[in-house]
């Protein structure tokens, strides 16, 4: 059979990998970092292995567990003809083939989709407390992470102080360092005064897991056959595949939720405080929306309506937002990059992170009653 990729013959190694599965490919097309495959068995996605192969058995166990709990709109890894999850190309490259869906990424410009995604995360967390036989990696202690990040910020400052000549990026970083570091130092102080340790220990004991990278890229708004629940395979190893199904949580909230959502790419899942996912998603959205209080508050309410937030979890989210995460990420990227040439984009990111600090300050004051 001759496979086509948007009018071009598929590369030999990709053809070699697909031949290792019991599938009938009718067409292929490129997407970000992967190949979408139209098959008689449904839409599939082929991509290189991006996580440790040792983690894949636990990842597959997680997918099976979610399915057993009624949460079926995920992207499980499919078995090849040999009953293996990982297929090897002739050049030695490692690939996986996953169930996929007709749809698009969550549109960060549409509040309705963001609120639906927050509700979807709450449903996911409701079923993601479970001890996997294969085990799940434990998330790092946040206090240790803050201490390490603060040390790294000071290291970057020392480096810049000794740099000559300095560029626009270095001047801006040094000018605002004390202001930004005040937030970092305060986050650690607030964490040490909080009930974080008890919340962390409770999460470990109950086997609570996070998605690990819950952002709009990994949230698919389904359409067409996928949204209608038509046949999509969960295995292509020669066995009959079950039909796709909508996840129906306990309670009536789903009846008011018109959007059908699939959650993908659980590669970074771990045992941790679950609302880390909510913090991460909220921060990403707020950075794009200029820390609009109404939207942020509505996202928190959409989550809490399904999975009520405890006072400890609310305090955790507040503390995570206090820390200047974006500023640290930019500094860390700078330190490990070619410092002889700083892109305009990097300078823009730094300026935005600094400028949005005041917007975030107001958000924390009005939503979490936190005052610097």
pLDDT at 244 > cutoff 60: no
Q: Is 277 among the domain residues?
A: no
Mean pLDDT calculated for residue range 145-170: 97
Structure tokens at 251: 């309670």
- DSSP per residue over 181-222, as a string? HHHHHHHHHHHHHTTHHHHHHHHHHTTBEE-S--SGGGEEEE
97 with 161, same domain: the answer is no
45 with 157, same domain: the answer is no
Mean pLDDT calculated for residue range 286-296: 98
Domain count, the chain: 2
> Residue 27: pLDDT band by 50, 70, 90 thresholds?
confident
Supply the pLDDT for residue 12: 65
160 with 105, same domain: the answer is no
Q: Is 278 among the domain residues?
A: no
Supply the pLDDT for residue 341: 84
User: In the chain, which ranges are continuous DSSP H helix?
Assistant: 12-18, 56-68, 111-127, 142-161, 168-193, 196-205, 224-228, 275-289, 293-304, 311-322, 325-335, 344-368
96 with 172, same domain: the answer is no
Give residue 334's domain range. Answer: 142-201+286-368
177 with 293, same domain: the answer is yes
236 with 258, same domain: the answer is yes
pLDDT at 10 > cutoff 80: no
Structure tokens at 39: 């098959």
The answer to which of 61-70, 266-275, 339-348 has the lowest mean pLDDT is: 339-348
Q: What is the pLDDT of residues 200-210, one digit of tens each?
A: 999 999 999 99
Supply the pLDDT for residue 250: 35
221 with 79, same domain: the answer is yes
Structure tokens at 367: 């939503």
For residue 320, the Cα-to-chain-centroid distance in whole angstroms is 16
Q: Is 230 among the domain residues?
A: yes
> Residue 326: pLDDT band by 50, 70, 90 thresholds?
very high
179 with 253, same domain: the answer is no
pLDDT at 113 > cutoff 50: yes
Mean pLDDT calculated for residue range 134-160: 97
Structure tokens at 173: 């970083």
pLDDT at 67 > cutoff 90: yes
Secondary element (H or E) of residue 9: strand 8-9
Supply the pLDDT for residue 172: 97
Supply the pLDDT for residue 91: 86
**pLDDT cut 90: percent of the chain above it:** 79
> Residue 301: pLDDT band by 50, 70, 90 thresholds?
very high
36 with 175, same domain: the answer is no
> Residue 259: pLDDT band by 50, 70, 90 thresholds?
confident
Supply the pLDDT for residue 340: 76
Measured CA to CA, the distance from residue 281 to residue 261 in angstroms comes to 15
126 with 262, same domain: the answer is yes
54 with 17, same domain: the answer is yes
41 with 118, same domain: the answer is yes
Q: Is 252 among the domain residues?
A: yes
CATH number of the domain encompassing residue 357: 3.90.1200.10
- Mean pLDDT, the chain, rounded, equals 89
CATH number of the domain encompassing residue 266: 3.30.200.20
Q: Is 280 among the domain residues?
A: no
pLDDT at 236 > cutoff 70: no
Structure tokens at 262: 């699939």
Q: What is the pTM of this model?
A: 0.88
pLDDT at 287 > cutoff 60: yes
């Amino acid at each position: 059979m001759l496979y086509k990729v948007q009018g071009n013959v598929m590369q030999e190694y990709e053809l070699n990998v697909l031949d290792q599965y019991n599938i009938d490919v009718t067409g292929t097309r490129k997407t970000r970092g992967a190949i979408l495959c139209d098959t008689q068995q449904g839409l599939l996605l082929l991509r290189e292995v991006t996580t440790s192969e040792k983690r894949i058995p636990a990842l597959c166990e997680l997918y099976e567990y979610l399915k057993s709990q009624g949460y079926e709109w995920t992207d499980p890894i499919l078995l090849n003809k040999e009953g293996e999850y990982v297929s090897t190309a002739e050049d030695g490259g490692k690939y996986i083939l996953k169930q996929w869906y007709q749809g698009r990424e969550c549109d960060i410009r549409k509040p309705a989709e963001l609120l639906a995604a927050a509700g979807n995360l709450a449903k996911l967390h409701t079923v993601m407390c479970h001890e996997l036989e294969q085990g799940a990696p434990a998330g790092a202690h946040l206090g240790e992470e803050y201490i390490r990040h603060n040390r790294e910020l000071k290291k970057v400052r020392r480096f810049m102080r000794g740099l000559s000549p300095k560029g626009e990026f270095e001047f801006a970083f040094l000018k605002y360092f004390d202001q930004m570091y005040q937030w970092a130092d305060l986050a650690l102080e607030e964490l040490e005064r909080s009930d974080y340790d008890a919340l962390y220990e409770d999460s470990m004991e109950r086997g609570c897991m996070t998605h690990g990278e819950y952002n709009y890229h990994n949230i698919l708004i389904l359409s067409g056959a996928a949204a209608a629940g038509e046949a999509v395979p969960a295995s292509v190893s020669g066995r009959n595949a079950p039909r796709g199904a909508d996840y129906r949580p306990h309670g009536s909230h789903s009846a008011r939720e018109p959007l059908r959502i699939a959650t993908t790419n659980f590669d970074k899942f771990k045992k941790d405080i679950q609302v880390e996912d909510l913090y991460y998603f909220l921060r990403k959205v707020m950075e794009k929306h200029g820390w609009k209080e109404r939207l942020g508050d509505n996202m928190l309410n959409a989550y809490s309506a399904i999975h009520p937030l405890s006072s400890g979890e609310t305090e955790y989210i507040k503390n995570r937002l206090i820390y200047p995460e974006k500023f640290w990420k930019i500094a860390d990227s700078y330190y490990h990059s070619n410092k002889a040439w700083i892109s305009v984009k990097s300078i823009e990111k730094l300026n935005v992170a600094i400028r949005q600090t005041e917007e975030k300050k107001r958000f924390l004051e009005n939503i979490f009653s936190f005052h610097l």
